[in-house]
Chain A
Amino acid sequence: MSSFIFCYGTAYAQEQKPKNDKETLKKEYAKTPFYQGSSVGVEVAGVIGHALGSDPISSEVLLQCNLKNRFMPALEIGYAKMDVTNDDSEMHYNTSAPYFRVGMDYNVFYLKPYLPGYLYVGLRYGFSSFSYDVNGPDMKDPNYGDITIPYSYTGIKSKAQWAELVIGIKVKIFKGFCMGWSVRYKKRVSAENGENTEPWYIPGYGENNTSNFNLNYNLIYNLPF
């Protein structure tokens, strides 16, 4: 990925620049049609991360349309699975569920459509309705002798909502194909707790912390309509 950045930077430095003073660019931009096309993408960092040893596996499909080369409403539909046992605590947690995000990106370089890529910032609202299983070793009373209570809860239903702040880059690779990567700061809005549990991992959000960071890597195809 970093070699691509380097190559791209070098190629760009050698590029012949068209007339691009701000006034000309603004005049050109004013002629831009409202609808600029749509794109479909797939997120692959969740699968690559799992292949490299990370516990969760996730992937998502991205649908996005381009309005005035500036505003880009986005819909992301994904599926995540987490099935893990902690070696120390011997607790086991299992969930797999779809998640949804809606939001919009803003093209910071909207005046420069001649560039082979752009930097964007965006917002998302994320939502997942999921169920999870938690089980672990029997709980032993630490004070009053030999009382043990089993700990096993399955099919606990929960819902979670969160907001995301996105900063990313999208660049053309070949014809209608692009790739993009983004850093996301996620802030939990709500997560329903069970009577005996709190969801430890939320599909689409990650571990149930008050906030999370993660990286998305998308392969995108610009639809020809």
Chain B
Amino acid sequence: MKRLPIIASIMLLLVLAFPACEVENCPPNSMTYAHFTLVDQNGKTFKTSDTLTVIGQTYIQDSLVCDTFINKENGASSLQLPLSYNDETRFVIAYRSLDHRFVGTDTILIKHHNKPYFTNLDCGTMMFYTLTDVQYTHHRLDSLVMTNPNIDNNEKENIQIYFTVSTTDE
């Protein structure tokens, strides 16, 4: 019991020290992206030898808005692309393959449900998405598989893009 005042003083000091320990819990990335992985016919990730350019497109009141997100990138094995705040976003992937003497494009149309999201007063809002449908052309790519329709700031793979890869491609 003689120690009671000491214990009380320690408790008080601890309490006074608490405000200094406050931390902001904002996520490191407040932007959210659709994560694409390039896979070969066996489902294995590979680095493409093509030079890739990716343009995002969406319509705002009948006018087409475009932005280039990837410009002439070599050796890509995955793509991180932002979706629009509309309910659909189109990505045009332009390939330039020296090995195959191929120049062309594929178009991926993604329909999505947008989810404005709030976690913390200090961090503001973020846009999360749920993918509802994916359509695509297959000039160079073979097919698309949606592996995870939910896009948030956890940076998980959402879509696999299948290509037919010969040994010279890798």
A: which residues have CB within 8 A of B? 1-2, 5-6, 8-9, 12-13, 84, 86, 88-91, 93, 109, 112, 115, 117, 119, 134, 136, 139, 141-149, 151, 153, 167, 169, 181, 183, 195-198, 200, 209, 213-215
Q: What 0/1 readout, one digit per residue, does chain B (116-133) give for beta carbons within 8 Å of chain A? A: 111111111101000000
State in angstroms the CA–CA spacing of A84 and B122 once bound together: 11
State in angstroms the CA–CA spacing of A139 and B32 once bound together: 14
The residue of chain B having its C-beta at the shortest distance from the C-beta of A86 within the complex is B121
Interface centre among A112, A139, A198 (most CB of B within 10 A): A139
Q: Which residues of B contact A91 (CB under 8 A)?
A: 118, 121, 124-125
Q: What 0/1 readout, one digit per residue, does chain B (5-16) give for beta carbons within 8 Å of chain A? A: 101110110110
Q: Quick one: which of B18, B60, B84, B122 contacts A143, CB cutoff 8 A?
A: B84
Q: What 0/1 readout, one digit per residue, does chain B (126-169) give for beta carbons within 8 Å of chain A? A: 01000000000000000000000000000000000000000000
B116 and A151 within 8 A (CB) = yes
B31 within 8 A of A: yes
Number of interface residues of B (CB under 8 A): 38
Q: Which residues of B contact A119 (CB under 8 A)?
A: 4, 7
A-B pair count, CB < 8 Å, reads 116
State in angstroms the CA–CA spacing of A146 and B116 once bound together: 16
The residue of chain A having its C-beta at the shortest distance from the C-beta of B6 within the complex is A9
B65 within 8 A of A: yes
Q: Quick one: which of B60, B118, B120, B123 contacts A147, CB cutoff 8 A?
A: B60
A139 and B127 within 8 A (CB) = yes
B72 within 8 A of A: no
State in angstroms the CA–CA spacing of A119 and B4 once bound together: 7
A183 and B14 within 8 A (CB) = yes
The 4 closest A-B pairs by CB, nearest first: A9-B5, A144-B84, A89-B124, A141-B85
B29 within 8 A of A: no
B1 and A144 within 8 A (CB) = no
**With A84-B121, A89-B121, A144-B56 in contact, do A149 and B116 touch (Cβ < 8 Å)?**
yes
State in angstroms the CA–CA spacing of A147 and B118 once bound together: 19
Q: Which residues of A contact B100 (CB under 8 A)?
A: none
CB distance from A151 to the nearest CB of B (A): 5
Q: Which residues of A contact B124 (CB under 8 A)?
A: 89-91, 136
State in angstroms the CA–CA spacing of A142 and B11 once bound together: 48
State in angstroms the CA–CA spacing of A122 and B119 once bound together: 31
B82 within 8 A of A: yes
